[in-house]
Homo-oligomer: A and B are copies of this chain.
């Protein structure tokens, strides 16, 4: 099991490597009858496309998606959706140096140790291009969630020391700023910071945040399949993520219970039903005991700086000899702006799957479903 499948009911299997013929994903378990076309998916893929600003690689990646199966007369049939993106812009060049040397911060050495050899062209399966399949599948998940009244959106929270000012938060702004920040002033400052780092042949880390709105209370499971546990896995599985926080995250470890507990309140004192319960704060980030509480889900991911930097670094070659390495090529000085849509997609996939799994949690709804 090489671990390229994700999800229990809405189950995706991604394939493809940086410099292969194509990349893609098979989605199994997509409910039948969803209106879907290539443009619905392309919109998400375009958000991870490079070459659109000074702070991304000038590589061209068209990433035009093709639906190969699972849609008939404009609707999903319930059978596997196969989505493919042909690789078109991979420049054929000399990889002999990188073939022999392990790049620091990359998976070169660990891949070799696991499999005995590796496809060294552009990182192979460990390349960021692997996320093409995740985003294509996530686009479908987002479309379903929309119809269920659930919205998922991610954005860049900080880049190096530059943090977005959340008092100026505007959700749509993240779609037009090169940094995917939801605040134009922070975006300006971050671009300056990135250009300076780039000039210094260096790269920069950052933090991204994802919000889920409209998710009903009661989604997730109480033990190993906690909603936050699955989100942690989903987000940590994105290359370069080194920490995941839910709600107030790391802050809770230095807090008192009286500060950290969120009180419950009736939303409306006159007419009361279960869905009318709200919280006085959201330190929990919308999840209690692994199950959604009806409040906004808040997830943060800390992303390391792009390991491909243009400074000389110490490493070893395949024969275990000490060598210096000088990386060439076209590399983003930061991963975050293009990873934001990946985080959005992995979150959507996780939340949707939890909603599908949840459908059989009660006898009364099971009976209602089958004894109409």
B144 and A363 within 8 A (CB):
yes
Would A364 and B33 count as touching, CB distance under 8 A?
yes
Partner of A314, one of B5, B234, B263: B263
Mask of A111-129 contacts with B, CB within 8 angstroms, 1/0? 1111111110000111000
Cα distance, A356 to B357, chains bound together (Å): 9
For residue A244, CB closer than 8 A to chain B, the reply is yes
CB of A151 closer than 8 Å to a CB of B: no
* Contact of B125 with A223 in the complex, beta carbons under 8 Å: yes
In the assembled complex, which residues on chain B have CB atoms less than 8 Å from the CB atom of A79?
2, 4, 15, 17, 119, 124-125, 222-223
A293 proximity list for chain B (CB < 8 A): 109-110, 113
A89 to B218, CA, bound (A): 31
A266–B285 Cα distance when bound, in Å, is 45
Asked whether A264 and B316 contact (CB < 8 A) given A5-B224, A223-B3, the answer is yes
A177 an interface residue at 8 Å Cβ cutoff?
Answer: no
Each complex incorporates copies of this chain amounting to: 4
Complex interface: chain B residues within 8 A of A316 (CB): 264-266, 277
**Complex contact B264–A104 (CB within 8 A):** yes
Residues on B with C-beta less than 8 A from A259 are 305
Secondary structure dominating the interface of A: mixed
Q: Is the CB of A242 within 8 A of B252?
A: yes
CB A94 to nearest CB in B, in angstroms, measures: 15
Complex Cα spacing A83 to B123, Å: 21
A1 at the interface (CB under 8 A from B): yes
Contact B360 A366 (CB under 8 A): no
Interface pair A249/B242, CB less than 8 Å apart:
yes
A58 at the interface (CB under 8 A from B): no
A205 B357 Cβ-Cβ under 8 A: no
Q: Is A207 an interface residue (CB 8 A)?
A: yes
User: Quick one: closest B residue to A159, CB to CB?
Assistant: B253
The yes or no answer to A262 lying at the interface (CB within 8 A) is yes
Q: Which of A217-245 contact B (CB under 8 A)?
A: 217-226, 228-237, 239, 242-245
Known A21-B68, A31-B360, A197-B256; contact A250-B147, beta-carbon cutoff 8 A: no
Subset of 19 A-B contacts with CB under 8 Å = A2-B29, A8-B8, A16-B80, A26-B26, A32-B363, A33-B364, A102-B277, A104-B261, A109-B264, A110-B218, A114-B218, A130-B223, A149-B371, A158-B253, A229-B233, A257-B305, A258-B309, A265-B315, A272-B321
Which 9 pairs, one residue from A and one from B, show the smallest C-beta to C-beta distance?
A107-B289, A3-B225, A3-B221, A272-B320, A203-B257, A113-B218, A110-B291, A233-B233, A257-B305
